[in-house]
Amino acid sequence: MNFKLNLGVGGAVVAVAAVVLAGLAVGTGRVYAQAMAGRDIGGNRVSIDYYKAPPGRQDEWLALYKKYHRPIMDYQIQHGVTISSTLYAPRSHAPGMPWDFVIINVSPPEARTPKLGLTRGQLIRKLFPNVEDYVKGERQRWALTVNHWDEDLMELDVKREPLSVYYPLDAPEAK
């Protein structure tokens, strides 16, 4: 079977653009390594947030973090939405270090996370009645953030068979 489609120049450009956009749409979603989604059966959620500040400005970034972001995390910890949030800095220096600070957040499984009863915006307004000051501080903190990325982790139980990233697990039986 011989098939020929005559789109003309304009139609060809539209067709190529559609293929490129479709490829981008498929490729921009979060991709989970291996088959990990089949092993996530209700354990605590762990996220690691990496931040890079300009050289010599790390203390300024830390002051802004402590004033404008940490109160939100503390509120979430006090209300059980987050179990812990720990800030780390590297112990030593290395050439080309891609981050200055790491924040490791641990939260309960989604199904067991209490609801705050507030939206993020309502919580910010509650903690920072002068919202203009909050916005100015967060804007400055993000202006000092030259690189940032988040990673979500899932604990692997080394005692549970099979120890694999490919085999899905069933939830443990309720006792």
Amino acid at 146: V
Q: Kindly report the average pLDDT of the chain as a whole number.
A: 82
**Which are the contacts of 112, defined by CB distance < 8 A and separation ≥ 6?**
42
Report yes or no on whether pTM surpasses 0.75: no
Range of the domain at 63: 43-153
Interval 61-74: pLDDT, tens: 999 999 999 999 99
For residue 108, cis peptide bond before it (omega within 30 degrees of 0): no
Token pair of 156, please? Answer: 């692997």
Kindly report the CATH number assigned to the domain that includes residue 61: 3.30.70.100
Judge whether 47 and 152 are in contact, CB under 8 Å: yes
Identify the pLDDT of residue 10.
52
- In the chain, the largest separation of any two C-alpha atoms, in whole Å, equals 71
Structural domain includes residue 50 = yes
**What is the 3 state secondary structure string of the chain?**
CCCCCCCHHHHHHHHHHHHHHHHHHHHCCCCCCCCHHHHCCCCCEEEEEEEECCCCCHHHHHHHHHHHCHHHHHHHHHCCCCCEEEEECCCCCCCCCCCCEEEEEEECCHHHCCCCCCCHHHHHHHHCCCHHHHHHHHHHHHHCCCEEEEEEECCCCCCCCCCCCCCCCCCCCCC
Residue 130 lies in a domain: yes
Instruction: Please state the rounded mean pLDDT for residues 29-52.
Output: 72
Whether 53 maps to a domain, the answer reads yes
Residue 162 lies in a domain: no
Mean per-residue pLDDT for 24-51? 65
- In this structure, the number of other CB atoms found within 10 A of the CB of residue 58 comes to 16
Q: Are 34 and 166 in contact (CB under 8 A)?
A: yes
Tell me whether residue 175 is in a domain.
no
Q: Does residue 159 form part of some domain?
A: no
Number of independent structural domains in the chain = 1
Within a domain: 15: no
Q: What is the pLDDT of residues 113-162, one digit of tens each?
A: 999 999 999 999 999 999 999 999 999 999 999 999 999 998 888 888 88
Residue 79 lies in a domain: yes
